A and B are shown apart, each in its own frame.
Chain A
Amino acid sequence: MTRWSVALRAALWAGLLSCGASIANAAGGTLRIITWADYVPADVAAQFTKETGIKVEVALSNNEELISKLRATRGAGFDLAQPSQDRILGPQQEFGIYKPIDLAKVQVDRIQPDLLATVRRNATIGGRLYALPYVWGAEGLVVNTKRTQINDYLDLCHADLRSRTSVRLRRPTLMAFAFAMDKDPFALYGDTKAYTALMEQVGARLIACKANFRFFFDNRDQLLNGMRSGELHAAMMWDSGGWRLNRENPDIKFIAPKSGALGWLDTYALPARGKNEAAAYAWINFTLRPEIAARIAKAIGNFSAAKGADQLTDPVLRAQFAASFPEGFKSVRWYPAIPPGLEEIEGRILDRVKAAK
């Protein structure tokens, strides 16, 4: 590829996708964050603005869209991004969309060390760290216990749950089913051939199960509504959603599946061409304050990576956590970083599942 065409493409997509927003809002007083729903509670942002004078602008996204947007602008348009920790290495190697974190500018001692270690393991490239932990949680099963009693992912395929369950047609589902099939996909990350074979097996299992999936959900509300209305009896779901349903209807429980819950960990990362780096660091340090972190955790319904926030966590949430994870964190598996190229293999399997009749 010539330099010219790369430059051309970057200019083009930047122009098309960020639509001038980046130019208009490049003012020093603004922090532009691309993140998940609820991750920047309005009251927290307001307090931040009051203290620092920096305005906060939020764009909502999920991992894939976040990466796509940053890829399109080659890391411009946002000052802070919040991808999951396993989704940093591959895209960074492939597209170079982030810049390393300057640990001197962060109050690192406020971060829970074991979570920081996890991120260090997965998001260090060439000796430099590209992310810090923000919020974590686990994915498991949400079950309407009035209707069914299941305790692992493969149970979603029981004959009596026909058209009564749902999963996302995304990679976590492939991982969860692989573990439920007593395989360890993470161990095969480095072996493309073996990994492909495993994914094909998982795909076949999902296809066999397809009649049980009412739909593949795309957003949280779609799933929550399905569970609330009773159209769904069980689904693979994040803990926060499960606990929210539980608060509304005690019959609906979030459980850690027998084969283990998968732990996710979302991070702070700096887009390569973010304009307001100072504001990004200010925000990171601000949100690592225990009382702020606790407020954020409550708004999201998950747990903060900041030290001391746990003590301030909502007691209801703590009770729910204890009920869902009787063994504590032990059963939670963290995603390792995804090497580039794996997602293409998974993508083809997911397409096949979708196409199967």
Chain B
Amino acid sequence: MAKATASASQRLILWLLLAPALLWLFGLILLPHLDLALLSLRERTGPGEYAFGLAQYRTFFTEPLYWDVFVRTATISLIATALTLLLAFPIAWTIAKLTRGRLSTLLFAVCLIPFWVSETVRTLGWMILLRETGVIPGLLVTLGITEVPIEMLYRDPTILVGLVYTSLLFMVVPLYGSLESLDDSLIEAAYDLGGNGWTVLRTVVIPHASPGITAGCIVVFMLTLGNYLTASLLGGKNSLWFTEQIYTQFITRFNWEQGAAFGFLLLLLSSVMVWTGLRLSGQRFSDVMSRT
């Protein structure tokens, strides 16, 4: 009897301990999503009157604009993720393998710099630098590289640069973690057995780091996919970012139903991408999550 009550009270304590997390999960994640799901399945029949229907999803598939923006957002996010990986890998490698102590701390700090100012300030800073009358186009003219100042804003490459810059740290950290744990003697052994830089990278370093690579890619992809400010401010009149569409639907069009449907489609897209990523890299979700 005493034992039974003890375990019952233990279970109670466990529930009490879990309660804040569960409440949070339920109240701030599950409930809004349920609500969004319901919202996305309504269509407006008159002022303040709604009925169940799939009109919101139909609009998405019939209006090529939304579909295009969706695909474009996914594509640019993928490219940004790939670029971030390419850029972050040497940085992570340098921090993990080539530097010690102060220098690697310094390198980490450099990756942190983007986060010392808010995203808005950072992005506006970029705009000041890159606009036609800004610092960099002016510099190009002074150096004689271009004849007249060129507008560097509102171009896809600029968006990409902005997205990559913002995401770098989120790639460097998991990569650093997985490269740090790579025993140097494995690399030496691979060289010793006749490998060269490329084959060692391909056969030893990348397979070892692949949970970190996958984790970093997932995080960066989700971040860019959900990015709002950088994509819309640097993108200017052609930015066409899917989160911007969602914002527009919710805030400027008062069309919560459409916005909710878009939100769900975005959620679906990122889930599919994560799943595909895990599939391609042959990783298990739990392994990857332990890296992030």
Contact = CB atoms under 8 A, between A and B. Distances in A.
Does A touch B (CB under 8 Å) in the complex?
yes
B32 interface: yes
Contact of B47 (A65, A93, A344): A93
A354 B47 contact: no
A91 interface: yes
Given A214-B151, A215-B236, A347-B255, 8 more contacts: A68-B251, A71-B254, A94-B47, A210-B237, A213-B237, A216-B237, A344-B253, A348-B63
B252 A347 contact: yes
Interface in A1-35: 1, 5, 8-9, 12, 16
Given A216-B237, A357-B238, A94 B63 contact: no
A230 interface: yes
Contacts of B180: none
A41 interface: no
Contact of B240 (A5, A9, A354): A354
Contacts of B151: 163, 214, 231
Given A94-B47, A215-B236, A67 B254 contact: yes
B27 to A, nearest CB: 8
A348 B248 CA distance: 11
Contact of A230 (B39, B48, B133): B133
26 contacts: A5-B35, A5-B38, A8-B31, A9-B35, A64-B253, A68-B254, A71-B254, A214-B154, A214-B237, A215-B153, A215-B154, A216-B237, A229-B131, A229-B132, A230-B133, A231-B131, A231-B132, A343-B254, A347-B252, A351-B63, A351-B66, A351-B245, A354-B240, A355-B65, A355-B68, A355-B69
Contacts of A355: 65, 68-69, 240
Nearest to A215: B236
A340 interface: yes
A214 B155 CA distance: 12
Interface in A94-139: 94-96
A351 B245 CA distance: 8
Interface of B: 31-32, 35, 38-39, 42, 44, 47-48, 50, 63, 65-66, 68-69, 131-133, 151, 153-154, 236-238, 240, 245, 248-255
A170 to B, nearest CB: 8
Interface size class of A (residues with CB under 8 A): 35 or more
A352 interface: yes
A64 B69 contact: no
Contacts of B245: 351
A343 B253 CA distance: 7
A115 to B, nearest CB: 26
Contact of A231 (B39, B50, B133): B133
A204 B1 CA distance: 80
Nearest to A348: B63
Interface string A217-234: 000000000000111000
Residue of B38, B69, B252 with most chain A CB atoms under a 10 A cut-off: B252
A64 B254 CA distance: 8
Given A210-B237, A355-B65, A355-B240, A65 B251 contact: yes
A91 B237 contact: no
Nearest to A343: B253
A215 B252 contact: no
B242 to A, nearest CB: 12
Contacts of B44: 341
A351 B65 contact: yes
A81 to B, nearest CB: 15
Nearest to A339: B47
Contact of A12 (B35, B42, B133, B252): B35
A12 B254 contact: no
Contact of A95 (B42, B48, B255): B48
A96 B44 CA distance: 15
A59 B42 CA distance: 31
Nearest to A210: B237
3 A-B pairs closest in CB distance: A64-B252, A229-B133, A215-B236
